[in-house]
Amino acid sequence: MEKKSRILIVGGTGKLGFEIAKASLRSSHPTFALIRDESFTDLHKSHKLQTLSDSGATLLKGSLEDETRLIEAIKQVDVVICAVSSKQVLLQKLLISAIKQAGCVKKFIPSEFGVDPCKTRISGLDHNFYARKAEIRCLVEAEGIPYTYICCNFFMSYLLPSIVQPGLKSPPRDKVKIFGDKNAKGVFMKESDVASFTISAVDDPRTLNKVLHLRPRGNVYSMNELVEIWESKIGKKLEKIYVPEEELLKKIKETPYPDNMDMVFIYSAFVKGDHTYFDIESSGGVDGTKLYPHLKYTTINLY
């Protein structure tokens, strides 16, 4: 049987990184997690670390600011997956330099896990959110590091619990706002499913130097369709408040950063259609659902 790659996960105590580490262990990859010193003494994080360690992960002390420990950690593995938060994306510059110096990495999966940063059409609105991720792509490619980028679009825990109503934590039961042209489709993926697709891509040559897009059936819906699903679940029609593009743009501009970012992401997905306007294959990407039809995932209806 082919040997499974040894995987180093940076961000293993984070929301997505923890799921990726668990998926890696479930798939029997020798799994290493680079953990910052302070996480070992944080109660919530140490619980996660115990779970990973009990499942067989090797915990290595280090951080994205400590080049020596980074190189030591990278030298023990074949694949590096980074899942630091969007605010920390540029810290990956040192990681890229360390990967280059270590010289043993056959695939790097940088911290993206969202909308394809090179395909969004909202320039100027996102305070460089996507530009930072795109900058990391340029650096990875300029250094000749083998890569896979994972574009899963929205996590299900983000915006879906409120049926895409900024400021709400649960779905509305009386009135619902519908943004944009009502028909642009957005994609929502459960974090644990994003992790399973990511780990499936690790040793798959079809994903080498490719963008892996996740758009599975049952997870791609317009705002109209999301509201219909919710109405059918509660057996009630909601009053619809239609918010046209100009009104949403005005609200985005009036609201200070970062409070306006939910609306920016809604604008990108449900007005501009950034999750789905392009064809995956003809844009040079690969479709996760076609590559891994055996993977079970949570649909929006089930969620």
Ligand X SMILES: NC(=O)c1ccc[n+]([C@@H]2O[C@H](COP(=O)([O-])OP(=O)(O)OC[C@H]3O[C@@H](n4cnc5c(N)ncnc54)[C@H](OP(=O)(O)O)[C@@H]3O)[C@@H](O)[C@H]2O)c1
What does the alpha-carbon distance between residue 26 and residue 143 come to, in Å, rounded to a whole number? 31
> Which of 287, 286, 142, 148 is CA-nearest to residue 208?
148
CA–CA distance, 124 with 271 (Å, rounded to integer): 16
* CB closer to ligand X out of 65 and 247: 65
Comparison of 112 and 203: residue with beta carbon closer to ligand X: 112
Q: Phi and psi dihedrals of 29, rounded to 5? A: -80, 135
- Taking Cα atoms as reference points, which of 50, 25, 23 lies closest to residue 35? 50
Whether the link from the prior residue into 293 is cis, omega within 30° of 0, is: no
CA 155/CA 15 separation, integer angstroms:
11
Residues labelled catalytic: 133
CA angle 194, 27, 61 (to 5 degrees): 80
3-state secondary structure of 184: coil
Kindly state whether residue 262 participates in binding ligand X, applying the rule CB under 6 A: no
- Give the shortest CB-1-to-ligand X separation in angstroms: 31
Residues 300/226, Cβ–Cβ less than 8 Å? yes
Choices 63-71, 118-126, 211-219, 241-249 (CB under 6 A): range interacting with ligand X: 63-71
Binding pattern to ligand X, positions 74-93, x when CB under 6 A?
A: ---------xxxx-x--x--
Site residues for ligand X, 98-137, by CB under 6 A, read 111-114
Piece in contact with ligand X (CB under 6 A), picked from 13-21, 136-144, 200-208, 281-289: 13-21
Residue in this structure with the two tokens 């609306």, named with its chain if needed: 263
Is residue 64 a contact point for ligand X (CB under 6 A)? yes
User: 59 in helix, strand or coil?
Assistant: strand
Minimum gap (Å) between residue 266 Cβ and ligand X: 12
Compare residues 17 and 288 and give the one whose CB is closer to ligand X.
17
Please give the residue whose beta carbon sits closest to ligand X in the complex: 14
Size of the site for ligand X (CB under 6 A): 28
Q: Please identify, using beta-carbon distances, which residue of 219 and 238 lies nearer to ligand X.
A: 219
Q: Residues 73, 48: contact at Cβ < 8 Å?
A: no
Q: Which of 8, 17, 130, 266 is in the footprint of ligand X by CB under 6 A?
A: 17
Q: Which of 6, 36, 106, 272 binds ligand X (CB under 6 A)?
A: 36
Q: Residue 236 Cβ, how far from ligand X at the closest point, in Å?
A: 28
Report the SS3 class of residue 34: strand
Site for ligand X contains 207 (CB under 6 A) = no
**3-state DSSP assignment of residue 259:** coil
Q: Which of residues 274-303 bind ligand X (CB under 6 A)?
A: none
Q: Which residues bind ligand X (CB under 6 A)?
A: 10-17, 36, 39, 45, 63-65, 83-86, 88, 91, 111-114, 152, 154-155, 158
